[in-house]
Amino acid sequence: MQYECLNKKKSVLLKQEKKLDRYGLVTLSGGNVTLRMPTGEILVTPSGMIYEDMVPEDVLVMDIEGNIIEGERKPSVDTVALLYILKHMPEVNAVIHTHQPYATGVGLVTEELPCNLTTLANATRGAVKVCPYSSAASEQMGIEAVENMGDKLAVILKHHGVIGVGDSLKQALCACVYLEEAAKTYSIAYSMNQDVPELNAEQVETAVEVFRRYGQKPIVEA
C-alpha cells in the first residue's frame, strides 16, 4: 500500500512538472520540482533530465537531510537549496523552481515586481521580491529565497529564475504561472507608460481572501 501511494505521488509530481513546459516556465531540463510527503519523505526530480522523458522511477525519495532513500538517479543540483526551504518553511510542502523569462527579466532591472494585478495577489499574496544573486546548486540560494519570500508564495532569483512554494503542488504551480503572467503584463504596461498603478494593501488583502474561496474542492490533493 505504501509503495502504491508513493508511486501515485510521483506520478502526480511528474504531471505537474510537465505543465512547467506547457506554460513556458522552463526549457528542456531546466528547473525542478520538490514535494514533501505527509510521512516526511521528500520527492525530488532528477538532475538534467527532460521532463517529458521522465517516469515515476526517475523521481528520488530523500530525507530532509539529503540522504537518498529510494532511486538510482542523481537528484537535482539545487537539492541543498530546496531542502533548506522545506526545513525553514514548515508550512510549505511543495517547491517549484523555474527559469521563466518575463519574471526573470523583470528581476534584472528592479528589486521587486509590484502587485499590479488581482491574479498576482491571488496566487502569491502580493508584490514579489527579487533576491540578491546566489549561485545555483548552493545552500545560499535557499537562504536568500526564505529571507526574501517572507509570507509570500514566490520570489525571483536575480540572474536565474523563480521559486514558487505552496502547501500543494497546485498552489506552487499557480504562484509561478500567475507571476509570469503579471511580469509579462507589467513589462507591456511599463513599455507604454512608466507610471504603472499598483494595488493598495486593502485591495491586495481582498484579492487574497477571494482566492481562498476560489475553485472546486479537489478530489485528490497533490
Q: Residue 184 in contact with residue 178, Cβ under 8 Å? A: no
- How far is the C-alpha of 18 from the C-alpha of 101, rounded, in Å? 17
Grid cell 526549457 is found at 27
Q: Residue 8 in contact with residue 218, Cβ under 8 Å? A: no
What does the domain layout of the chain look like in residue ranges? 2-212
Residue 182: closest CA among 204, 149, 214: 204
pLDDT digits (tens, 9 = 90+) for 157-208: 999 999 999 999 999 999 999 999 999 999 999 999 999 999 999 999 999 9
In this prediction, residue 3 carries a pLDDT of: 59
What's the pLDDT band for 1 if we cut at 50, 70, 90? very low
DSSP state of 99: -
What's the pLDDT band for 40 if we cut at 50, 70, 90? very high
Provide the edge-to-edge strand list for the sheet that holds 94-98. Answer: 68-70, 60-62, 42-44, 32-36, 94-98, 161-166, 154-157, 128-131, 112-113
Q: Residue 163 in contact with residue 155, Cβ under 8 Å? A: yes
Total-model pTM? 0.95
3-state secondary structure of 221: coil
Domain 2-212: which topology? L-fuculose-1-phosphate Aldolase (3.40.225)
3-state secondary structure of 104: helix
Mean local confidence (pLDDT), 33-59? 96
Beta bridge partners of 129: 112
